[in-house]
Amino acid sequence: MKIAIAQQNYHIGNFARNTQHIIEAIDTAKAAGADIILFSELSICGYPARDFLEFDDFIYQCQQSLSQIAAHCDSIAALVGAPERNPNLKGKDLFNTAYFLYEGKVQQAIHKTLLPTYDVFDENRYFEPAYEWNIVHFKGKKLAVTICEDIWNLGDNPLYRICPMDELMKQQPDVMLNLSASPFDYTHDEDRKATIKANVLKYKLPMFYCNAVGSQTEIVFDGASLVFDKDANLCGQLPMFTESLQYFTLREDGSIDAPILEPASRVPDKELTPHGLEAELNIAQIHDAIILGIQDYFGKMGFQQAIVASSGGIDSAVTLALAVRALGAANVRAILMPSQYSTGHSVDDAVQLSRNLQNPYDIVPIKNIFDQFTTELQPLFGNLPFNVAEENIQSRVRGNLVMAIANKFNYILLNTSNKSELSTGYGTLYGDMAGGLGVLGDCYKLQVYALARYINKDGEVIPENIITKPPSAELRPGQKDSDSLPEYDVLDPLLYQYIERRQGPNEIKAMGFDAALVDRVLRMVNINEYKRNQFCPIIRVSPKAFGVGRRMPIVGKYLS
């Protein structure tokens, strides 16, 4: 049996585009002699559709697209994903469904059983779990079809009370096929591979796994679809972060007519999530994920050009470099806005960066505007000393200027705040926290430096002085980040333990972190939830990103 895997990038709710994309892959695979083609989870509507699923018209359009696609499945079968109405009045109104299409019509509907409701997932909000399990009969083979989470309920601490594959094994299937929309994070690639291998080892069946690719606002799907033979050898891996259509032949004995990429003995057996922050971990993947996140945010929203506030610091430099790689130099405009507290070398560094990148830039000094603000406020401020109020005025002046330019020329402002700053509240609402998309908001400062080094791996793009100088907001004379925050090589691993690994204060202190520092940092994280709640969407690259995947009360008292 010749099986095609179509790893495609879908646009949520863009039924015409998604349907055409799926049909083109079906026609291509048909011409190549494939027997069946496998698509990803909820491919017709895109994943995650969220509350679009509550609209009857949205479901109607899914079904209309399904009919169009089925008409092309005459001599080839297809497995595509779409929501399906639940005819039973009891339970949720929809099923998350894999449709088996053949001979021009829907032959069978397979419902997802395990509905994740954690991190970025909220499927129990919309879908009813499956209550029956049946294999698909096709060309003398028995196909065990599952959907994403259905194959993840393995290990010593299963999250669910049932394993769909256990039920399907009662019907003696020959092969497993899985439709997935499994998001990227920098620990997930090997973890996913290990999970699929564990299924193969448990059930002694080959596995064809199709994952979505593309970015949906904050969530990036990396593709990396997989094929394992019955002996758990990796025989196919589609590329990360790009669309791909590949073919594999399943032999009668369960082997696969493809070279072994990794023998079973070398495929990871367990999750490789680090126990501490390893800044260099999979930095190339993080780089590629962010670029895809920028590209799809702009492409799917119909935007073309970005603007970045370029300060001569590491965060804006990395953001600018990534934006240029994603959108092209001509489509990214840098705005330098020095104040009287900006150092000359910062301006020079920012200019050199744009010259290296060959992107347009402008210099708009803010001293006169800042002075006007302080003059008008003097009757209210009186003789009170210069403090954070005046510092934040500078940041908000810059925010106003860059947003004015964005409005005038139809740019989207890319925010440059990193995860260390967002964690601790080291940023100004309506100032440097303004923006349409958070490019580095899921990267700790140490990871930002690692990205800078990776960007420079083939030659200097980001001037070395930007990488080596002490980080500073430059809002007062001689200011350094370390005046307000611990050194990042101490702060970032501490934050990682609290945010990504959800370790409590006692556990973190037991790791050797200073007790007073732990209490101080955790308090900063929790009292600044109100700032993060007003922040723009962040491109997710970690196992626990701010935004939809981390839901904390703003007015909570815990550890604050």
Please compute the mean of the pLDDT values over residues 180-206 and round it to a whole number: 96
Query: Does any domain span residue 272?
Result: no
Distance CA 376, CA 369 (A): 11
Same domain, yes or no: 157 and 291: no
Report pLDDT digits (tens) over 364-398. 999 999 999 999 999 999 999 999 999 999 999 99
How far is 362 from 48, CA to CA, in rounded Å? 39
Question: Is 555 a member of any domain?
Answer: no
CB of 8 within 8 A of CB of 21? yes
Residues of the binding site: 118, 182, 309-316, 392, 416, 421, 531
Show the tokens assigned to 182. Answer: 């499994």
Q: Is the pLDDT of residue 399 over 60?
A: yes
Region for 386 from its dihedrals, namely left if φ exceeds 0, alpha if ψ lies in -120 to 50, beta otherwise: beta
CB 477 within 8 A of CB 341: yes
- pLDDT of 211 higher than 50: yes
Beta bridge partners of 84: 95
**CA–CA distance from 192 to each of 150, 204, 447 (Å)?**
13, 18, 23
Residues 288-347: tens digit of each pLDDT: 999 999 999 999 999 999 999 999 999 999 999 999 999 999 999 999 999 998 887 899
CATH number at residue 348: 3.40.50.620
In degrees and rounded to multiples of 5, residue 216 shows phi and psi of: -120, 85
Q: Are 338 and 310 in contact (CB under 8 A)?
A: no
Q: Tokens 């303004």: give the residue.
A: 434
**Whole-angstrom distance, CA of residue 318 vs CA of residue 314:** 6
Q: Which residue has the tokens 């960007």?
A: 455
Report which DSSP code applies to 90.
Answer: S
Asked if residue 177 lies in contact with residue 38, where contact means CB atoms within 8 angstroms, the answer is yes
Both 139 and 257 in one domain: the answer is yes
Q: Do residues 500 and 544 touch, judged by C-beta distance below 8 A?
A: yes
> Are 388 and 354 members of one domain?
yes
Considering Cα of 443, then 448, then 450, then 453, what sign does the dihedral take?
positive
**Domain co-membership, 177 together with 29:** yes
Q: Is residue 273 part of a domain?
A: no
237: phi then psi, degrees, rounded to nearest 5: -145, 115
Instruction: Identify whether the C-beta of residue 190 lies closer than 8 Å to the C-beta of residue 144.
Output: no
Instruction: Name the nearest CA neighbour of 38 among 95, 79, 93, 74.
Output: 79
How far apart are alpha carbons 105 and 530 in whole angstroms? 51
pLDDT at 472: 83
- The phi, psi pair for 341, rounded to 5°, reads -95, -5
* Same-domain check for residues 318 and 256: no
Q: Does the structure show a pLDDT above 60 at 267?
A: no
CATH number at residue 243: 3.60.110.10
3-state DSSP call for residue 9? Answer: strand
Spell out a b/e string for 470-496, using b for 16 or more CB atoms within 10 Å of the CB, else e.
Answer: ebbbbbbeebebeeebbebeebbbbbb
pLDDT of 269 higher than 60:
no
Per the structure, the count of domains in the chain is: 2
Residue-wise pLDDT for 431-441, tens only, equals: 999 999 999 99
Question: Domain for residue 343, yes or no?
Answer: yes
**Residues 381 and 343 placed together within one structural domain of the fold:** yes
The pTM (predicted TM-score) of the whole model is: 0.96
Average pLDDT over the chain reads 96
Alpha helices (H) along 123-187: 164-168
Please say if the pLDDT value at position 270 is more than 70: no
User: Which of 86-95, 479-488, 514-523 shows the lowest per-residue confidence on average (mean pLDDT)?
Assistant: 479-488
Of the candidates 491, 407, 23, 9, the one whose C-alpha atom is nearest the C-alpha of residue 211 is 9
Residue with tokens 């929203």: 301
Share of the chain above pLDDT 90, in %: 92
Q: Are residues 27 and 58 in the same domain?
A: yes
Calculate helix-pair angle for 445-455, 283-301, nearest 10 degrees. Answer: 90
Phi-psi region of 494 (alpha: psi -120 to 50; beta: other; left: phi over 0): alpha
pLDDT at 328: 98
Clarify whether residues 242 and 320 are in a common domain. Answer: no
Query: Does residue 546 fall inside a structural domain?
Result: no
Please indicate, yes or no, whether residues 18 and 154 belong to a single structural domain of this protein.
yes
Task: Look at the chain and count its residues.
Answer: 560
489 within some domain:
no
In angstroms and rounded to an integer, the radius of gyration of the C-alpha atoms of the chain is: 26
Per-residue confidence at 271, pLDDT binned at 50, 70, 90?
very low
User: What does the alpha-carbon distance between residue 90 and residue 87 come to, in Å, rounded to a whole number?
Assistant: 9
pLDDT: which is higher, 120 or 475 = 120
Active-site residue list: 41, 112, 148
Beta strand 361-363 with 332-336 is parallel
What is the C-alpha separation between 492 and 447, in angstroms, rounded? 9
Q: How far apart are CA 242 and CA 388, in angstroms?
A: 45
Same domain, 191 and 250: yes
Question: What are the residues facing 550 on neighbouring strands?
Answer: 547
What tokens does 508 get?
Answer: 């973190």
pLDDT at 229 over 50: yes
Q: Give the CA-trace dihedral at 287, 187, 46, 550, to 10 degrees.
A: -100
CA-nearest of 267, 135, 114, 117 to 195 is 267
* pLDDT attached to residue 274: 59
Given a cut of 80, whether residue 463 has pLDDT beyond it is yes
Q: Evaluate whether residue 326 is within a structural domain.
A: yes
Residue 362's beta-bridge partner residues? Answer: 335
Residue 460 within any structural domain of the chain: yes
Binding site residue list for ATP: 309-316, 416
Residue 229 shares a structural domain with residue 309: no
Residue 348, CB-side half-sphere exposure with 13 Å CA sphere: 5
The residue-averaged pLDDT of 458-487 equals 88
11 CB-side CA count, 13 A: 16
Segments forming the whole domain that contains residue 311 = 283-481+527-532
Q: Answer whether residue 475 shows pLDDT above 80.
A: no
Residue 233 has pLDDT above 80, yes or no: yes
Q: From start to end of 213-315, where are the E strands?
A: 213-216, 219-222, 226-228, 234-237, 244-249, 306-309
Q: What number is the average pLDDT over the span 63-78?
A: 98
Burial of residue 517 (CB within 10 Å: 0-12, 13-18, 19+) is middle
Residues 374 and 460 reside in one and the same domain: yes
